[in-house]
Amino acid sequence: MSGGVNIRYAVSVDGIKWKKYKGNPILSAVSATPSFGNAFLEPCVLFDGKQYRMWFAAWHGATPSIGYAISINKLPL
């Protein structure tokens, strides 16, 4: 993945044992628009009752920005 930092998905019912999503990473420098970034980190996810909203730090070289993504359902494991 040419040095990028990716966001991955996992679920846990107890916060100790985690099940990773087989399709990880869910956001990577490869999957994103090239001009958007090459490193993604510090995700924060909120479910508002209808959709999942995720804010995250995105870096394109030395330039930081805040990214935002939405999904109407969680990923299957």
pTM: 0.71
Predicted pLDDT at 17: 96
Predicted pLDDT at 13: 93
Overall size of the chain counted in residues: 77
Q: What is the mean pLDDT of the chain?
A: 81
Total Cβ atoms within 10 A of residue 67: 17
Predicted pLDDT at 58: 86
